[in-house]
Structure 1
Amino acid sequence: MDMERLTPVLRRLALEAGAKIMEIYDADDFDVRAKSDDSPVTAADEAADALIAAGLREAFPDTAVITEEQAESHKLDAASFLIVDPLDGTKEFVKRRGDFTVNIAYVADGQPVRGVVYAPAKNRLFYTRPDGATVEETGPFGLDAPGETRPLKVRTPDESALIVVASKSHRDAATDDYINRYSVADSAAAGSSLKFCLVAAGEADLYPRLGRTMEWDTAAGHAVLNGAGGRVVRFDDHSPLTYGKPGYENPFFIAYAPGVTLRPAR
């Protein structure tokens, strides 16, 4: 993999896909269909997927591309691969709540080492650099005219007053029970992989996920959080969350800023 070339390509494809998504989001209406697992899919998912997959395969023809919307790709088995969720947070998209993202990541030896998370409705682009992670305020800027950027850095948690972020669409009693084991000063709800990015930006300390996710849901946000100094571990034994698992399905996990003393699973 040409690592120097990787981030610019991921950034450009995320922005181009975000523009396609927003064309459909801003339309008066759009169709919503159910996939075989009953999750929703729209023309925005499919348009963004086609654009990103074609761009990645052209730029990196020797690297496997795993994408949510192409079931055949889920059968691939590779030590390193690009992994894509072209529209993470489709439920948020359908409800026009803005908390949806374009996720693209590169995984090597079980870890996401580069990633881009773009929230086009919020004009925020989060991405990794060789020396860390950055957030860019995209605004009306063109692909070749980056907006204002600042480095991302997790904050030092105050364990007597933690800030917790959880899912808007998937929060349940088990998640609340786990959160209640901490001293929480404030909590926030966010959709898609923006939860990782809130921890990366120092706007939250802890994001527990006690529900089903797939690797394309998490890899890009995980990479950004790693770049900002954060960590992502399995819920059951607090070992690092790894990638390239059978079926690309994740166990429950916890994303957090170092300094949070993790409570054990029960």
Structure 2
Amino acid sequence: MNYETLMPLMRKLAIEAGEKIMEIYEADDFEVKSKSDDSPVTEADEAADALISAGLRAAFPDVMLVTEEQAASHAARGDTFLIVDPLDGTKEFVHRRGDFTVNIALVEAGVPTRGVVYAPAKGRLFMTQPEGESVEETGDLAAETIGAQKPVCVGSPDNSALMVVASKSHRDQATDDYIGKYNVKDMTSAGSSLKFCLVATGEADLYPRLGRTMEWDTAAGHAVLAGAGGKVVRFDDHSPLTYGKEGFANPFFIAYAPGVELKAG
């Protein structure tokens, strides 16, 4: 894989998709439909998916591509592929809460190695560099012009005063019970894959997810966190979370900064 070609393209497509999403987000009204699993989908999901998929297929026609919005791609099999969630956090989008992201990632040998997470309503873009380290781009984000990029790195956790981030739309008692095993200094909620990015920047130390997610929900954030020195492990046995699983469904997992003393479930 040519990372020098891939990463600028991922960034460009994420920003262009974000522009389309924001056009619809800022309109007076937009249509919300239900998929077969009763999850919501909007014209923004579909427009962003079409743009990103076309760009990736044109540049990398021989690389397997999996996207949330194209059900046929969910039957693909392999451990090296591009994976896209064109609008992660559709519930946040529908309720105009802003915590939604565009996610594009590369998985190699079952491991997310490169990714872009763009939160267009918040003006935050996180990505891995071609070499693998993660950065946040700041300032006015433009598809054709790369702005100032600053390295991001996980924090040094204090296990007597941890910063925890959890889901905004999917919190439940099991999650709260697990978080209760830790000494928590402060807790914040965030939507979509932004939770991985908050751990990547040191704004949080721990993100446990005891709920259903799919690989397209997590791969880009996982790659960004890994490029910042963080880890993502299965909740049940603390082994690394791998990708390319049948159906692309994830088990429960924990994303964290090294130094956090993980508790058993």
- Give me the TM-score of the superposition, normalised by structure 1: 0.98
**4+ runs deviating over 2 angstroms:** 144-148
Offset of residue 211 of structure 1: 0.2
Q: 1:54 Cα deviation (Å)?
A: 0.6
Cα shift readout 1:170-195 (whole Å, capped 9, x = no counterpart)? 00000000000000000000000000
Q: Tell me the residue number matched to 2:118.
A: 118
Give the C-alpha shift of residue 144 in structure 1. Answer: 2.3
1:91-102 superposed matches below 5 A: 91-102=91-102
The one-letter amino acid of 1:214's match is M
C-alpha displacement of 1:3 = 1.8
**Equivalent residue, structure 2, for 1:187:** 187
Q: Is the 8 A contact 1:90 1:100 kept in 2?
A: yes
Which secondary structure does the structure 1 equivalent of 2:158 belong to?
coil
* Matches of 2:151 and 2:261, distance apart in 1: 25
Supply the distance in 2 between the matched residues of 1:163 and 1:79 (Cα, whole angstroms): 33
What's the TM-score, normalizing by structure 2? Answer: 0.98
Structure 1 residue aligned with 2:250: 250
Query: What residue is the counterpart of 1:133 in the other structure?
Result: 134
AA aligned opposite 1:137: T
Q: Who is 1:154 aligned against?
A: 154
Q: Describe how 1:43-62 pairs up with structure 2 within 5 A.
A: 43-62=43-62
CA contact (8 A) 2:101 2:120 kept: yes
Partner Cα separation in structure 1 for residue 234 and residue 68 of structure 2: 22
RMSD over aligned CA atoms reads 0.8
* Conservation of the 8 A alpha-carbon contact between 2:20 and 2:47: yes
- Given that 1:125 and 1:138 are in contact with CA atoms closer than 8 Å, whether structure 2 keeps it comes out as no
Does the 8 Å contact 1:153/1:201 carry over to 2? yes
Q: Distance in 2 between matches of 1:19 and 1:138?
A: 15
Q: Counterparts of 1:121 and 1:79 in 2: how far apart (Å)? A: 32
Query: CA contact under 8 A between 2:79 and 2:243: conserved in structure 1?
Result: no
What is residue 19 of structure 2 aligned with on the other side? 19
Q: In the comparison of the two structures, how many residue pairs are matched?
A: 264
Shift of 1:145: 2.2
Question: In 1, distance between residues paired with 2:173 and 2:142?
Answer: 43
Alpha-carbon separation, structure 2, partners of 1:184 and 1:147: 36
Q: Percent identity?
A: 70
Structure 2 unaligned blocks of 5 or more: none
d(CA) in 2 for partners of 1:31, 1:195: 27
Q: Distance in 1 between matches of 2:139 and 2:48?
A: 18
- Residues 131, 114 of structure 1: alpha-carbon distance in 2 compared, 3 angstrom cutoff: closer
Give per-residue Cα distances to partners, 1:213-255, cap 9 Å, x unaligned.
0000000000000000000000000000000000000000000
Q: What aligned pairs does 1:1-266 form with structure 2 within 5 A after superposition?
A: 1-129=1-129, 130-139=131-140, 141-265=141-265
